[in-house]
Amino acid sequence: MDLSLTLRILAAVFMVLIQYACGNFVFNVTHKFAGKDKQLSELKSHDSFRHARMLANIDLPLGGDSRADSIGLYFTKIKLGSPPKDYHVQVDTGSDILWVNCAPCSKCPVKTDLGIPLRLYDSKASSTWNKVGCEDDFCAFISQSDTCEPKTKPCSYHVVYGDGSTSDGDFVKDNITLDQVTGNLRTAPLSQQVVFGCGSNQSGQLGQTDSALDGIMGFGQANTSVISQLAAAGNVKRIFSHCLDNVNGGGIFAVGEVESPVVKTTPLVPNQVHYNVILKAIDVDGEPLDLPPSIASFGGNGGTIIDSGTTLAYLPQDLYNSLLKQITTRTPVKLHMVQETFACFSFTSNTDKAFPVVNLHFEDSLKLTVYPHDYLFSLREDMYCFGWQSGGMTTQDGSDVILLGDLVLSNKLVVYDLDNEVIGWADHNCSSSIKVKDGSGAAYSVEADNLIQSASSVIKGTFVPLLSILIWVFLSFTSQFC
């Protein structure tokens, strides 16, 4: 090869390397579907496959537990702003927005007994912050009214929780940085602009120090939730799952399609604010209980709600009475009430061996088994209490409501598939790992986390106020549950 040809080849390679380094390429492109014999459906199929390859999985580290004698909630760590800073927020499937405490805030908690640092979000310290005004499409969608006037005003929110706690503030837009799954037990940062609440005034339990956090991250079905905003931008599927470890604390929380373990599902009741499912039957170790008619055959707005922001499980009064009667008939104990709502008893033997399992049967033959170590918790070495509660909750049309919180969801992988409108679960060791599949079909392991290893010893033996029983969200207008 003569010298001039060699130099021309080297120059061409050099130019390619320069283009690569600069991220700029010029190629002669022939359209794959240029031929008229191709059907239009192939174009859509091609785009769908391409979009699928782009979809990411997200790993959210978990902390906390669902024991009523300990923390009584689960939380994760996210990053907001530029440069990104850490915030610890409760994960809650019963609400639809992300909000964090913001500076200045005179009534926001400044410390917590959970052993984690608290931080106020400061928009002035973020180079990517933007305001959300009344003229913003997000505000117009969420308020569903003309109360946000004039259009130059900030878009405000007012959230009221079932225990009377409230959060007030304005919506803002900034970067959220999450951990994208890139390989087995490997992640890389993924950033996107999202709208979230900037809380300037909190009341009730949200301002207490025993279990205070920086805010709440709602994983509800509405378009205002972070997962819906990520999905609208084409970054993720509207599928998420959690495995809440009630033995060691923490667990797994992932956004994306789960490949293993295999999870059987039941349909979500359509057009509901919460994750409503149809409960067909309950039995205590095979002995059936009578269900209220509005529970077994979904009528009106009654039924059964799955909510990870609730710690315990709430049943209609008659169902609660018959459940405890059936359990204590199998294992006779003398009950006495603690704090007026907890049925407690003295016991020194192994509860898992002495007490029966409770099985909940849902539409499409999906069963959820609640073991004694799930529905019982210890106040001290020789005293236990039932986590089942008499909820007495009904909708406006008088239909009964069952609310299932972390008490029955713990130690199971629970998958919420909003795209296909189903929810499902499988017994799983929440201290281990799961496999999630990305848009290309590659499956990667996501392992369990525990953000506070010693959390149970921090507040062991104290009743933590139960933050999220049911929520009503008032966003510049009044809304009623169901």
Class for domain 52-255+452-457, per CATH? mainly beta
pLDDT at 54: 52
Architecture of domain 262-427 in this structure: Beta Barrel (2.40)
Return d(Cα 79, Cα 58) in angstroms, integer. Answer: 13
307 part of the active site: yes
92 part of the active site: yes
Peptide bond into 292 cis (omega under 30): no
Q: Is 40 exposed, middle or buried (0-12, 13-18, 19+ CB in 10 A)?
A: exposed
Structure tokens at 10: 């080297």
Which of these is catalytic: 69, 214, 307, 449? 307
pLDDT at 339: 86
Long-range contacts of 101-107 (CB under 8 A, 24+ apart): 101/199, 101/202, 101/214, 101/215, 102/169, 102/198, 102/199, 102/200, 104/200, 105/199, 105/200, 105/201, 105/202, 106/201, 107/201, 107/202, 107/203, 107/207
| Residue written as token pair 């979809």 | 55
Peptide bond into 372 cis (omega under 30): no
| Overall average pLDDT of the 253-274 stretch | 94
pLDDT at 454: 41
Span 410-437, pLDDT tens digits:
999 999 999 999 999 999 999 999 999 9
β-strands 313-315, 388-390 pairing: parallel
Which of these is catalytic: 59, 92, 174, 417? 92
Distance, C-alpha 291 to centroid of its chain: 28
- Judge if 52-255+452-457 and 262-427 fold alike in CATH terms: yes
Residue 365 in this model has a pLDDT that exceeds 90: yes
Residue 445 DSSP class: E
Return d(Cα 264, Cα 289) in angstroms, integer. Answer: 24
Span 125-137, pLDDT tens digits:
999 999 999 888 8
Residue 160 in this model has a pLDDT that exceeds 90: no
pLDDT band at 12 (very low <50, low <70, confident <90, very high): very low
Instruction: Delimit the domains of the chain by residue range.
Output: 52-255+452-457, 262-427
Structure tokens at 327: 């359990």
Q: Is 178 exposed, middle or buried (0-12, 13-18, 19+ CB in 10 A)?
A: buried
Q: Give me the chain's average pLDDT, please.
A: 81
**Residue of 19 and 326 predicted with greater confidence:** 326
pTM here is 0.82
